[in-house]
Every structure is written in structure tokens, then in C-alpha cells.
Chains A and B, each alone.
Chain A
């Protein structure tokens, strides 16, 4: 069995209430869970081997039975709520966080044990819940060929559309509605190039993004044109760059293939920053990591339908001793977590100077010209004049992203002194995500 034994050998380190409440799907759940988290409502609870279980008295005759696998975390409750985790699971976790759930040497009762066993068995079969191995290799090859030709004709159409824009002039774009971009985006969906569709849909807001919109729109059109050309000539590209081009278009690798094809990198990964985005009823979570030993940057992407919890197994400000496997590409940044061996308190990262960040980004762009989000770990002082920015000890400054708001918490944290700051560097500016206070504690901005 390949379940990571280190996780289940002892009762997991207790979480704090904050970490529990962060799991709640909404604020009302947090409130009801807190009022449910009293010993009276829970006649029977227990903990052991990385799991919690308990029976909660509800309005009906039969108690609700909640069980938590802390390694996921994953939850199960017999209540009819469709929220995940439900208030009972949250309340059980809160009780545990308060130290009110005792270890039970007898182990879980049958109803909890069977669910935990089933999970362990599933975990040993498949590394994740994605699509299984294709059954018929010949049919799979035929489907891949079909897709290839659809994408090729889709990209040819996109390139014609882009040239039409450049021929007729971008000035008209300010009057164009969202449909202008949605139509071509929909055709890219038909052409099975979802990566392109997403980029195109995002363009609809550019003409209304303030001064310089024309330049920004031209940049995006030019980079899409470059992508179309690169795909057309992919045979001439070195394999890593070809992978980058294909992933930007929307050919996604199955995690199982990534895990099978790559060499795991074990390190103490600092969990530096997290950014959640919601687009088309899909929630995406970007988690930025940096290896303490290797110095490598890594990006974990998680997705969930709206209302469903995003993966929460890594907490910002902690260190995770883990194996990562990187996706292939010209700039290997995206990774998948293969196994987590341990986690613990992290200290603040070693923030670098602005010049180092810009040099690193330039080198990465030379390999992947479409890269528009690059991890920034800096030691800087925020400034408001002449515009919101951060400045390092050498006097070099970077603007803050206009979409990041006024960033008052960052200013308050620094009080005019340098702080360690992690964020995303983008062509429009720095998006601050995490800063470390005087005591070295991570603060999510």
C-alpha cells in the first residue's frame, strides 16, 4: 500500500481555529459551526490515526455522524446539508482544535472506520480522482489526431481574426461589446483550445481598463499571434518549448502522466502565497512555493466548482517537506504535489532585491514569452508616492498592480520599514499576497 505512512503514524498536529474556520464554505457556516461546537451537542467523539469522528445531536432522533480524514482533509457527514464541509464537520474540527476531542485508543467505530478504510483503499489505487487510463490505445490515438486537426484549423481561424483586427484597427474595440471576444472565444472552445478561449474572454475588459488600454490590447493580440505561429511551426521547436506552447493552447497533461514522466523533487517547500480566482463558476487556487534547499519556485494549481472547497492541504506561512513533480515546459513552474512527508512552521523567506526579480523574469520570458505571472519574493518598503509601489534597499522600485487596491494592510504592516513580501509580478505591476510581520508570522494581504 502506498499510502504515505508518515501521515498516519500518529495523531496529526492539532490545527488552530483559524485554519478550521478557513475551510468553511461561507460565513454563516462559520457561525453555526461555532455555536454547535460545544460538548453538549456531541455525546461521542474520538480521534486517532489522522482522523476524527463524532456523533452530533440534531433535531431528529438519530444523531448525525461526522468523520474527518485530516490528511486530505476529507469529510463525510450523515446530515442532508450539501455544503462541504458541513457545519457538523466544522464543529467537530473546532472541538478538536480546542482540545476537546480525546484520542481513542480503541480506534474509530465501525461507521467511521469503513469510510476511512475505503478512502485509504482508493488512495492506494489512484493518485487522484481524475480520468482513468485510456482503455483502447487505437481509439485514443484517433481522438488525439482529430483534436490536433481541430486545434490547427481553430488556430488558423484565430490568426485570421487577429490579422483582421490589426487590419481594420483596434480603435473600434472600445465600442465593441463583450460578444466581440465571446464569439471568437466560443469558436476556440469548439476547436478544443480552451486555453485560448480563456485568454480571449479576459480581453473584453481591456478596452475599459484605463489609459494605455490600446497598448495592452495590442500586446495580447501580438502574443496570441505568436502562439498561433508557434503552434504552426511546433515541429521546429525544442520539446520543452513545444510543451509550453501546447499547454498555453489548452492541451492539458493528465496528472498521472506528469507523475509518471517526471523526477520528483524533494525539498522543504515554503508555502509563500496563495491567490484564489473565480472565473465562469470555476474557482482556481494558485499556491506559490519555493524550495529552501533547491531555491526552485513552484506553482500548484487547484480547481473546484463554485461552492466546493479548494484544496487546502498547504497553509501559507508553513513549510512542507514534500515531493513535487514539475510539468514539462520551457520554464518548469507548474508542479503537482506527489507526497507530503511532514509540515511545520516556516519562517519568513529571504526576500531579494528588485533587480534580481526583474533579471529572473527576463530570463524566464526569454524561454517562455507568454509568461505573465512570475513569483516575487522581495525585501522592500511600500511607498505611496508618486504612485503605490515597493522599493528595495538599492532604491529600485516596482509599481503595485492597479487591481490590488490600496494595500493599506501592507503599509500598516511595514510602517515605513522593509518587510519580506511575496506576490506575483505581472506586466501591470506587483500583486502583493503575503507579508511577514516583525515576529516572522505570515499575514495574508
Chain B
């Protein structure tokens, strides 16, 4: 008896050119090609025999064989709450994807795991953005636990999950730039002094190498032991290295650069008790620096802004940069009042400049007191109506502790709420719910 494949071959050629194979189901009589009830057209006979075999083959299909991979080792850490998992799914679907790192950081801090079915989308995302954000790869691997490592063994796209351990000395000596960076990041977290020694040894290499060293510090906790290296880097021949050094020093409490900045800043902003008989009372008097000297340049100050700051004149931009690098305790000590009272003294026209300068300082120094005072001031209608003011609010809404921020606007009833304020509130509410869902 002929087979299904014979029928397929015959159908490809056509019954004009070939006969109809005698294909049937074993155990059943063959559909006859002659006699009562038989089709007189060979083409119809072929289709009839094919129909019978199709149904027989579908119904009689045997089970196949397959070899599942070895099971993943169980993960002792529990998964996040269902609500947190649903929010992560939404974020992976495109809602506030810039907050993924915060979600993952909070999950890792509480030793909770990403729901298994979301890991493939998360790992794909971490792989895609790894160039711009190596931190997301590290966080995804940590929050993915043993399940993520198991998946990495099945899909070569995700090997970064297991390669990320960063303990292999060879990675430092022979690895690619990103492997070297991973190694240094891991070492810095484990043993900051050893990481510093490694950097000092390699400091005389090419400038991109030094930039990589400094960029690793951007995600690390800094200490005064890092200051000598960073202070020396302010005199580096490479502008990018100098920029990184100034940026990192402005985050480091108690360093010399901070003291230099504080001196400059106090020359620009002072408190005026107001004229007798005038109802003004205490207010801030602002006088931007008159000149840009060599020492300012060495500390990374530039009179020309980028992006939305291009609209500022040179002196105002210098003022903003000085404020951004000045330790915030300078103000609370000098003016002897807390941040929100200082903000109450802000003068009108220069308010967005001071707001942005102080906000940058608060974000660099990770100072929640100031961040919360600043964002609440802005949400209550503080004048942020410049492009850079709105951008600053956008950044603050992503960093300030949402539990301590106003999540409703106090703008007057009926008035149209500016979109940057509405957006900031929606981000704060999103983060507030997100962090609440991640609580154990």
C-alpha cells in the first residue's frame, strides 16, 4: 500500500501527469477507484483518499520524544507580591521604564525575586540597554536569583547573568572593556581599598581607561580615602577625566573642593534682614560671580551651559554650577534655618536658578531633606516655569522619597495645573505605590 507521502507527491504533479496512489488507512478498505459511489474524476479520488488519511494521521498521531533541561535549583528567596509583579509587567511593557532600576534595587534590598515568567522580558531589556546602563544588568541578575542563572544556561543572549560575578582575575587582565569594568565594579563593592590600588596602578594608562575607572565610582559609595586621587585628577590632561573628578568630588562630603565651593557660594548668596519699615522681612540677595578664574575652571565650573541651560547668561550659569557643587549644610548652617524655610526666602526672578542649583546638589549629595523640601516647594507652585526648572522637577520626582513628598498638588482650585507638575505628581504616586507593593 502507498503512503501519505506518495499522495503528496502525486498532488504536486497533478493527476493529469500521474496516477492516484493506492494510499489508505491500514486496517480499513481502500477507497475504490471504480464501482458504485466511486468518483469518476481521478482528482476527486485523490482528494478523497487524502481526506481519509489526513484525519487518520491527525487522530493517530503518536506522542513524540523530548528531553527537558535539568531543573533549576530552588531559590530560597520568595517572589515579590502579585501586585508588585503586575507593576513590573507594566513597566516592562513601557510604563515608566526609567524606574526599573529603582524597582529592582528595592526588590534586591528586601531579598525578593522577580516573578519567573517576567524574567525573559527583563533579561532581554537588560541586554539591550546594557551599553548605556550596566547597572541594570547587575540588578536584573541579582533580582532574578537562581532562576535567572538557570535561564542564562539555556539562552546565550543572557550569559551576562552568570558572567557578571566579576571575580575572575583574568577578566581584569585580558577581558574586554566591559568585563574589566564589571570586575572593577564588583571589587569596589567588596573591597574599596583593593579597587583603589588597582586604579592607582593603572592610572598612567590611556585617558579612556581613567574615564572608565571614574565612571565605576559613579555608582559606588565614596569616602574621603578617594579624595587624593580625585583631587589629583582635577589637573588631568583630559577634559573628560577632569569633568568626572569634579562631579565625583561634589558628591563627597567634607572634601576640599566642597569647602572651596562653599566660600564661592557664600559670596553669591546672602540673607538680608530687610529694611526697617519695609514689609519685605528677611530675603535672599543674589550676586552672581563677576569673573571666571583659573581656580574655578580647575574645579570644573563652566560659564556655558548645555541644553536648556544655554539660555542663561555666563554669570548666572556660573552661579548655578557653584550652587550645584556646594555642600548643602553650608546653607542650613549659615542661615541657621531648615531647608524649607530657606526656600521660603527665594526671590522671584532668580528662583528657578537657585532651585535647579540646589536640586542638583541635593541629588548629587543624596540629601533627602533638601530633595523633599525642594520638590514640595515646586509642587506647591514654586516658580519652575522655565525649561530647565521643569527638567529639574522631573529629575527630583524620580529621586525624592515619595512617602515624604506631597502627592497631591495644592494649586488653587479650578486653575489649570501645569503639565510638569502633573507629571511629577503622577511619577511620585507611581513610585509610592511601587515601593509600598515591594514592602514585605
Flag whether B324 is at the interface (Cβ < 8 A).
no
Knowing A163-B44, A409-B120, the reply to whether A427 touches B58 (Cβ < 8 A) is yes
CB-defined contacts of A223 to chain B, threshold 8 Å: 51, 54-55
- Taking a contact as CB atoms under 8 Å apart, the answer to whether B65 and A413 are in contact is no
CB-defined contacts of A214 to chain B, threshold 8 Å: 8, 11-12
Alpha-carbon gap, A40 to B48, bound state (A): 70
CB-defined contacts of B64 to chain A, threshold 8 Å: 389, 396-399
Partner of B154, one of A34, A165, A411, A445: A411
The A360-408 residues at the B interface (CB cut-off 8 A) are 361-362, 365-366, 369, 381-387, 389-391, 395-399, 408
- Taking a contact as CB atoms under 8 Å apart, the answer to whether B11 and A412 are in contact is no
**CB 8 Å contact bits of B80-124 with A (1 = contact, 0 = none):** 001100100010011100000000000000000001111111000
Flag whether B70 is at the interface (Cβ < 8 A).
yes
Knowing A354-B63, A397-B66, A416-B150, the reply to whether A409 touches B15 (Cβ < 8 A) is no
**CB 8 Å contact bits of B403-440 with A (1 = contact, 0 = none):** 00000110000001000001101100110000000000
- Taking a contact as CB atoms under 8 Å apart, the answer to whether B154 and A222 are in contact is no
Knowing A355-B63, A399-B64, A411-B151, the reply to whether A222 touches B116 (Cβ < 8 A) is no
Flag whether A109 is at the interface (Cβ < 8 A).
no
Closest to B413 in A: A40
- Taking a contact as CB atoms under 8 Å apart, the answer to whether B46 and A166 are in contact is yes
Flag whether A417 is at the interface (Cβ < 8 A).
yes
**CB 8 Å contact bits of A146-171 with B (1 = contact, 0 = none):** 00000000000001001111111111
Flag whether A330 is at the interface (Cβ < 8 A).
no
Alpha-carbon gap, A213 to B46, bound state (A): 18
Partner of A225, one of B13, B48, B58, B115: B48
- Taking a contact as CB atoms under 8 Å apart, the answer to whether B50 and A391 are in contact is no
- Taking a contact as CB atoms under 8 Å apart, the answer to whether B72 and A415 are in contact is yes
CB-defined contacts of B17 to chain A, threshold 8 Å: 169
Closest to B94 in A: A27
Flag whether A45 is at the interface (Cβ < 8 A).
no
Question: Chain B: interface secondary structure?
Answer: helix
- Taking a contact as CB atoms under 8 Å apart, the answer to whether B116 and A384 are in contact is no
Partner of B63, one of A39, A59, A169, A358: A358
Give, as a whole number of angstroms, the nearest-CB distance from B248 to chain A.
36
Alpha-carbon gap, A21 to B87, bound state (A): 11
Give, as a whole number of angstroms, the nearest-CB distance from B16 to chain A.
5
CB-defined contacts of A35 to chain B, threshold 8 Å: 422-423, 426
Closest to A169 in B: B14
The B22-50 residues at the A interface (CB cut-off 8 A) are 41-44, 46-48, 50
- Taking a contact as CB atoms under 8 Å apart, the answer to whether B43 and A164 are in contact is yes
CB-defined contacts of B95 to chain A, threshold 8 Å: 27, 30-31
Closest to A408 in B: B120
Give, as a whole number of angstroms, the nearest-CB distance from A400 to chain B.
10
Alpha-carbon gap, A168 to B65, bound state (A): 38
Alpha-carbon gap, A417 to B72, bound state (A): 8
Flag whether B225 is at the interface (Cβ < 8 A).
no
Give, as a whole number of angstroms, the nearest-CB distance from A417 to chain B.
5
CB-defined contacts of B15 to chain A, threshold 8 Å: 166-167
- Taking a contact as CB atoms under 8 Å apart, the answer to whether A412 and B68 are in contact is no
**Interface residue count on the B side (C-beta < 8 Å):** 67
Closest to A397 in B: B66
The B54-78 residues at the A interface (CB cut-off 8 A) are 54-55, 58-72
Flag whether A218 is at the interface (Cβ < 8 A).
yes
**CB 8 Å contact bits of B171-199 with A (1 = contact, 0 = none):** 00000000000000000000000000000
CB-defined contacts of A384 to chain B, threshold 8 Å: 69, 154
Flag whether B318 is at the interface (Cβ < 8 A).
no
CB-defined contacts of B155 to chain A, threshold 8 Å: 408
CB-defined contacts of B360 to chain A, threshold 8 Å: none
Closest to A382 in B: B68
- Taking a contact as CB atoms under 8 Å apart, the answer to whether A171 and B13 are in contact is yes
Knowing A362-B60, A413-B117, the reply to whether A229 touches B66 (Cβ < 8 A) is no
- Taking a contact as CB atoms under 8 Å apart, the answer to whether B43 and A166 are in contact is yes
Alpha-carbon gap, A397 to B12, bound state (A): 31
Give, as a whole number of angstroms, the nearest-CB distance from B393 to chain A.
16
- Taking a contact as CB atoms under 8 Å apart, the answer to whether B117 and A221 are in contact is no
CB-defined contacts of A39 to chain B, threshold 8 Å: 408
- Taking a contact as CB atoms under 8 Å apart, the answer to whether A385 and B67 are in contact is yes
Give, as a whole number of angstroms, the nearest-CB distance from A395 to chain B.
7
Knowing A35-B426, A171-B12, A225-B47, the reply to whether A383 touches B66 (Cβ < 8 A) is yes
CB-defined contacts of B86 to chain A, threshold 8 Å: 16-18
Partner of A397, one of B55, B65, B83: B65
Alpha-carbon gap, A396 to B66, bound state (A): 8
The B349-379 residues at the A interface (CB cut-off 8 A) are none
Partner of B47, one of A166, A408, A411, A427: A166
The A71-115 residues at the B interface (CB cut-off 8 A) are none
- Taking a contact as CB atoms under 8 Å apart, the answer to whether B13 and A169 are in contact is yes
Alpha-carbon gap, A443 to B55, bound state (A): 33
Flag whether A215 is at the interface (Cβ < 8 A).
yes
- Taking a contact as CB atoms under 8 Å apart, the answer to whether B66 and A168 are in contact is no
CB-defined contacts of B142 to chain A, threshold 8 Å: none
Knowing A27-B93, A167-B14, the reply to whether A412 touches B117 (Cβ < 8 A) is yes
Alpha-carbon gap, A435 to B147, bound state (A): 17
- Taking a contact as CB atoms under 8 Å apart, the answer to whether B117 and A163 are in contact is no
Flag whether A219 is at the interface (Cβ < 8 A).
yes
- Taking a contact as CB atoms under 8 Å apart, the answer to whether A169 and B48 are in contact is no
Closest to A227 in B: B51
Knowing A163-B41, A169-B17, A389-B66, the reply to whether A365 touches B11 (Cβ < 8 A) is no
The B196-227 residues at the A interface (CB cut-off 8 A) are none
- Taking a contact as CB atoms under 8 Å apart, the answer to whether B151 and A412 are in contact is yes
Flag whether A226 is at the interface (Cβ < 8 A).
yes
Give, as a whole number of angstroms, the nearest-CB distance from A439 to chain B.
8
CB-defined contacts of A443 to chain B, threshold 8 Å: 115, 117
CB-defined contacts of A219 to chain B, threshold 8 Å: 50, 54
CB-defined contacts of B60 to chain A, threshold 8 Å: 362
Flag whether A321 is at the interface (Cβ < 8 A).
no
Knowing A163-B44, A166-B46, A225-B44, the reply to whether A415 touches B116 (Cβ < 8 A) is yes
Alpha-carbon gap, A239 to B66, bound state (A): 42
Flag whether B252 is at the interface (Cβ < 8 A).
no
18 cross-chain CB contacts under 8 A? A162-B47, A170-B14, A218-B54, A219-B54, A222-B48, A222-B50, A358-B61, A358-B62, A383-B66, A383-B69, A398-B63, A398-B64, A408-B155, A409-B117, A409-B120, A416-B68, A416-B70, A427-B58
Task: Give me 19 other A-B pairs in contact (C-beta within 8 A), A169-B13, A409-B118 excluded.
Answer: A39-B408, A164-B43, A166-B14, A167-B15, A167-B42, A169-B17, A171-B14, A215-B4, A218-B7, A218-B50, A221-B47, A222-B50, A382-B68, A383-B69, A385-B66, A391-B67, A399-B64, A410-B117, A437-B115
The 8 closest A-B pairs by CB, nearest first: A169-B14, A416-B71, A396-B63, A408-B120, A222-B50, A362-B59, A397-B66, A389-B66
